[in-house]
Amino acid sequence: MEKIIIFDSTLRDGEQSPGASLNTKQKLEIAQQLSVLGVDVIEAGFPIASEGDFEAVSLVAKKVKGPVICGLARALKKDIDVCFDAVKHSKRRRIHTFLATSPIHMKYKLKMSQDQVFQAAIDAVRYAKNKTDDVEFSPEDAARSEIDFLCRIVEGVIDAGATAVNIPDTVGYSVPSEFGQIISKLYSRVPNIHRAVISVHCHNDLGLATSNSLSAIINGARQVECTINGLGERAGNASLEEIVMSLYVRKNFFNVYTDIKTSEISKTSKLVSSLTGMVIQPNKAIVGSNAFAHEAGIHQHGVLAKATTYEIMTPQSIGLKSSELVLGKHSGRHAFEKKVKELGFRLAQKEFEKAFNDFKALADKKKNIYDEDIEAIVENEISREKQIYELESIFITSGSAVRPLAKIKLRKDGKFFSAEASGDGPVDSAYKAIEEIIAQRFKLIDYSLKSVSIGKDAVGEAMVKVEYKGMVYLGRGTSTDVIEASVKAFLSAINRILRNIKGRD
């Protein structure tokens, strides 16, 4: 198996993402983590771009051991001089110089002929080679360059001393079969190509950066330039984690390997996201929050039975502790049962079925179900005793300029009883309506309401203390509707009172 060199450009191209600027200290922190991750080359910046960029590349070159430290330079002597001054502090240093080779770039941006571009590229590589042994050249916009000229310039820069030649799809224009053919043609038509490492640098404008990079590997490329979380200009670059895990999961297909410590991927991704302020989309491959999360009941059942039914890699392989079974309206009994057991509860089958039905009803009402929600449901079921009166429905009218009115319907022995009442507010009105149905008065001595989970659709828990003939009875109710929770709590206490009266009789 041949090795694929991982060239990380998070600190250079990645930082060019709008809004992703990093200070010198942050760049060093990321570079040190990239070293732990095991990248082979760190492109630390574009030294001539600014004084801050020069300082950051210099600091990385001084402090980070292991990877090759690389700086970017245009095909100009002043750029190459500044670049070398920044990377010279590293024992393993590289100058990466570039010049556009596509007709559109040469005509409108450079205003140079093919011969002028060819000579400028050769001169730049030779000049850089006099400063350091490791020199990389990139024919910018190679994917839109004429293949004959591309072959000519690749051969020329290798003769001039380039140790790596990078073939960029600078604007993300190519498609996998086409880009793979470009690499294949270079190998068949450039006689000295085996004297240099052929690299690729793909942008994601059409969402094909990873696919194009993998196609290039199949056709002979042995270095991939990529970034953490796919950061970069416009739509970004090929994502390091996607490239690495594709090669890891499908190693029998690609027959290559990398030296990346995959268990550091999640940590590195989170660090880069935190320092750049670039939030990772939930459905991002490999490192998105949903990448190892399952909500659909059939998927959850499969994962519980055998993880590989729906997971082609383990969460541990990228540094996560475990997969996540997300409880929601699509979840099934298996996932709910697993969560209940994880929370330390043991339910009889009848209790479990009722709790599961309550969970499904709650999941239809709120988007996110938290452990506290499940605890509230289960505890409510565990504490459930034979109810004399059960709540059927509530209708509340209330407002700052409206007299509060509550209409309550209760069920007892299969029959329904209704009443309406007004009070000091919606809860007081509901309590009076309940007393109207039962034809008894009860003394409320304590009432409290709290959230048992988080979010604007959190479950509310109401607790009441009701006094009756010198004895105090507790009642508890939960719901996403605080009025409903309050009514359930009051009814729970009253049912205890009525059961106690019936027991004495």
Environment class of 120 (CB within 10 Å of its CB; exposed 0-12, middle 13-18, buried 19+):
middle
CA-to-CA separations, 333 to 200, 338, 339, 349, 362, in angstroms, rounded: 48, 8, 10, 12, 14
Helices and strands per DSSP (H, E), number in the chain: 17, 18
Q: In the chain, what are the helix, strand and coil shares in percent, each to the nearest 5?
A: 45, 20, 30
On whether both 364 and 415 belong to a single domain, the answer is: no
Instruction: Return the pLDDT at 325.
Output: 58
On whether both 351 and 271 belong to a single domain, the answer is: no
Give mean pLDDT, residues 93-116.
97
pLDDT tens per residue across span 382-432: 555 567 898 999 999 988 888 999 999 999 988 999 999 999 999 999 999
Least confident of 28-32, 260-264, 320-324, 492-496: 320-324
DSSP E strands in 230-270: the ranges are 256-257
On whether both 168 and 73 belong to a single domain, the answer is: yes
Domain assignment of residue 411, yes or no: yes
DSSP E strands in 236-341: the ranges are 256-257, 293-294, 324-325
On whether both 262 and 375 belong to a single domain, the answer is: no
On whether both 421 and 378 belong to a single domain, the answer is: no
Counted domains in the chain = 3
Closest CA to 226 of 70, 10, 391, 1: 10
Domain assignment of residue 281, yes or no: no
200/168 Cα distance (integer angstroms): 6
Close Cβ partners of 243 (under 8 Å, ≥ 6 residues apart) = 6, 210, 213, 214, 224, 226
On whether both 109 and 258 belong to a single domain, the answer is: yes
pLDDT tens per residue across span 441-453: 999 999 988 876 6
Domain assignment of residue 234, yes or no: yes
Contact 278/229 with Cβ under 8 angstroms? yes
> How far from chain centre, in Å, is Cα 479?
31
CA-to-CA separations, 196 to 136, 143, 255, 267, in angstroms, rounded: 9, 19, 21, 33
On whether both 29 and 148 belong to a single domain, the answer is: yes
Residue indicated by tokens 């750029």: 79
Close Cβ partners of 146 (under 8 Å, ≥ 6 residues apart) = 103
On whether both 268 and 334 belong to a single domain, the answer is: no
Domain assignment of residue 37, yes or no: yes
Of 276, 302, 322, the residue that ends a domain is 276
Domain containing 461: what range? Answer: 390-504
30/488 Cα distance (integer angstroms): 53
Environment class of 301 (CB within 10 Å of its CB; exposed 0-12, middle 13-18, buried 19+):
middle
Give mean pLDDT, residues 23-39.
97
Residue indicated by tokens 């709650």: 362
Q: CATH number, domain at 446?
A: 3.30.160.270
Of 357, 382, 407, the residue that ends a domain is 382
On whether both 327 and 452 belong to a single domain, the answer is: no
Domain assignment of residue 492, yes or no: yes
Q: CATH number, domain at 246?
A: 3.20.20.70
On whether both 364 and 480 belong to a single domain, the answer is: no
Task: Write the single-letter amino acid at 105.
Answer: H
Give mean pLDDT, residues 360-369.
78
Instruction: Return the pLDDT at 436.
Output: 94
Domain assignment of residue 285, yes or no: no
Instruction: Return the pLDDT at 452.
Output: 66
On whether both 78 and 169 belong to a single domain, the answer is: yes
On whether both 195 and 271 belong to a single domain, the answer is: yes
Domain assignment of residue 283, yes or no: no
Instruction: Return the pLDDT at 487.
Output: 94
Residue 51 has pLDDT above 70, yes or no: yes
Q: Alpha helices, DSSP H only, in 332-479?
A: 333-342, 349-365, 371-382, 426-438
Residue 294 has pLDDT above 80, yes or no: no
Domain assignment of residue 282, yes or no: no
Instruction: Return the pLDDT at 295.
Output: 61
Give mean pLDDT, residues 364-373.
73
- Give the confidence band of 19 by pLDDT, cuts at 50, 70, 90: confident
Instruction: Return the pLDDT at 382.
Output: 56
Of 249, 276, 303, the residue that ends a domain is 276
